[in-house]
Homo-oligomer: A and B are copies of this chain.
Amino acid sequence: MLSAVLPNGNAAAAAAAAELFADGRFNPTAIVTEPVPPPVQSDKLDSPPAANGGKADKREIVLGRNVHTTCLEVTEPDADNESTGDKEAYMASVLARYRKTLVERTKYHLGYPYNLDFDYGDLSQLQHFSINNLGDPFIESNYGVHSRQFEVGVLDWFARLWDIEKDEYWGYITNCGTEGNLHGILVGREVFPDGILYASRESHYSVFKAARMYRMECEKVNTLITGEIDCADFKMKLLPNKDKPAIINVNIGTTVKGAVDDLDLVIQTLEECGYSHNRFYIHCDGALFGLMMPFVKRAPKVSFKKPIGSVSVSGHKFVGCPMPCGVQLTRLDHINALSSNVEYLASRDATIMGSRNGHAPIFLWYTLNRKGYKGFQKEVQKCLRNAHYLKDKLRGAGISAMLNELSSTVVFERPKDEEFVRRWQLACERNMSHVVVMPSVTVEKLDCFLDELIQARSVWYEGGNSKPPCLAEDVGVSNCCCVLHK
């Protein structure tokens, strides 16, 4: 009896099946005899150009080339590997060297908004399990190795932070800030299919990626020198489009300047332009500051008591987590419109991703429990204080610098030397660089950085052959210390 199904019109597969299951029995010789694929021709790769060129001043983005210079090749185990243990030893040495690099790179890091100070040793036992919260956090899937109980606990904590009742919100733990924005904007588009997306030009690039992915009309709104959305320009962009609903991305901390858009003023502007609350959808991109603002007195409050549709925040930033993750919250009634049921999962499909990392919720649950709202408040206070310290020291040394109120992102003159930028892992744009003061950034680390920067600048700009850049256009005249403006 040949019980394997023979498809119509597929001769090759049928032949393969006949071979695999000759006489209805599994035939192990049907497996390929030489599993190692021949190497694909690759001789063009002998001398790949380095991604960074050799140029000191400018880092080139090499499009159209795949750079394999630092690649750790995967090699086939030797036949006698089990007896010699050579490969085991090789891998152990690779990992030991890699660990050393990680320690060193973690030590000299200032530019990205990641809290690198965490200890999840208690959770290392969980790495043995394939934990997957596939589908919806609030509907159990048939897959039993999940961590929904932790995930929902974390979501509830954020729901309380952002003022929304348990049975009125829906949310999930995402893979990163981008997924939060992709989800929030998608929900907005499903609520208002012909809505126009408005976002300040200093919004995260994922916002504009979403517009392109989702084929949405998109209006870029100008910003103030702080990086905040310019509501006068917002009004100008809104008025000619009054026939279409508005979907707005509000930044609770922009990427480069750490500027906080004034949510209340955005809502007021919409109202003044004649948009009723059922004609707009606001997504708050709180990737970094979404977890800091609630602890700063009189900061524009992110709250679902206001007419907003969704909020996202990253988990690997202020909280700190081994891998990127985020929290996405929206109103439950929006989700019921968006989602479709997937019987296979015994769930509804309302997340962007299907399979979802079940470890991230446990990391977050662990830290939230240990620190609590009070612990985060203390850390916010420390970060704001240290950011102020850094800004004062920079300005004291005659270096252009800006620190937005309500922010721990210190923007300053871009260092002239790319090697210096890489050493401290600074993010740069035009003439600006920034340090994001996270809980892992101590005064000692800042002092070390300041010493090195001041030392290096004395070399870069000695003799007067070259001058520090002007940052007036980037951070305003009052924050610029260039020759002209100091």
A55 at the interface (CB under 8 A from B): no
Q: A121 to B95, alpha carbons, bound, how many Å? A: 12
Cross-chain contact of A3 among B165, B296, B340, B391 (Cβ < 8 A): B391
Asked if residues B377 and A71 are in contact (CB atoms below 8 Å), the reply is no
Number of copies: 2
Asked if residues B44 and A165 are in contact (CB atoms below 8 Å), the reply is yes
A137 → chain B, closest Cβ, in Å? 9
Cross-chain contact of A388 among B25, B65, B118, B395 (Cβ < 8 A): B25
Closest 4 CB pairs of A and B: A17-B405, A105-B144, A324-B355, A35-B377
Q: Indicate with 1 or 0, residue by residue over A457-486, a CB within 8 angstroms of chain B CB atoms.
A: 000000000000000000110110000000
A54 → chain B, closest Cβ, in Å? 15
Q: A356 to B170, alpha carbons, bound, how many Å? A: 24
Q: A48 to B15, alpha carbons, bound, how many Å? A: 55
Interface residues of A in 126-164 (CB under 8 A from B): 126-132, 134, 138-140, 142-145, 147-150, 152-154, 156-157, 159-161, 163-164
A249 at the interface (CB under 8 A from B): no
A426 contacts across to B, CB distance below 8 A: 142
Least CB separation from A142: chain B residue: B425
Asked if residues B372 and A427 are in contact (CB atoms below 8 Å), the reply is no
Q: Indicate with 1 or 0, residue by residue over A56-76, a CB within 8 angstroms of chain B CB atoms.
A: 000101111111101111111
A398 at the interface (CB under 8 A from B): no
Interface residues of A in 32-89 (CB under 8 A from B): 32-33, 35-37, 39-42, 44-45, 48, 51-52, 59, 61-68, 70-77, 87
Asked if residues A427 and B122 are in contact (CB atoms below 8 Å), the reply is no
User: Contacts A40-B160, A388-B26: A95 and B76 contacting too (C-beta < 8 A)?
Assistant: no
A294 contacts across to B, CB distance below 8 A: 32, 35, 37
Asked if residues A369 and B165 are in contact (CB atoms below 8 Å), the reply is no
A131 contacts across to B, CB distance below 8 A: 102, 322-323
Q: Indicate with 1 or 0, residue by residue over A339-375, a CB within 8 angstroms of chain B CB atoms.
A: 1111111111100111111111000011011111111
Provide a sorted-by-A list of 19 A–B residue pairs whose CB atoms are within 8 angstroms.
Answer: A3-B479, A5-B402, A6-B405, A8-B232, A10-B265, A13-B405, A20-B297, A35-B373, A36-B374, A42-B165, A45-B166, A61-B139, A61-B347, A111-B142, A112-B142, A142-B426, A205-B340, A214-B214, A344-B427
A204 contacts across to B, CB distance below 8 A: 354
A321 contacts across to B, CB distance below 8 A: 130
A265 contacts across to B, CB distance below 8 A: 9-10
User: Contacts A5-B479, A160-B40, A375-B77: A260 and B13 contacting too (C-beta < 8 A)?
Assistant: yes
Least CB separation from A176: chain B residue: B355
The residue among A7, A179, A226, A343 with the most chain B CB atoms within 10 A of its own CB is A7
Asked if residues A226 and B373 are in contact (CB atoms below 8 Å), the reply is no
A445 at the interface (CB under 8 A from B): no
A324 contacts across to B, CB distance below 8 A: 132, 134, 353, 355-357
A167 contacts across to B, CB distance below 8 A: 42, 44-45, 48, 65-66
A130 contacts across to B, CB distance below 8 A: 106, 114-116, 118, 316, 320-323
Stretch at the interface among A236-244, A379-387, A447-455: A379-387
Asked if residues B354 and A406 are in contact (CB atoms below 8 Å), the reply is no
Q: A426 to B144, alpha carbons, bound, how many Å? A: 10
Interface residues of A in 265-294 (CB under 8 A from B): 265, 294
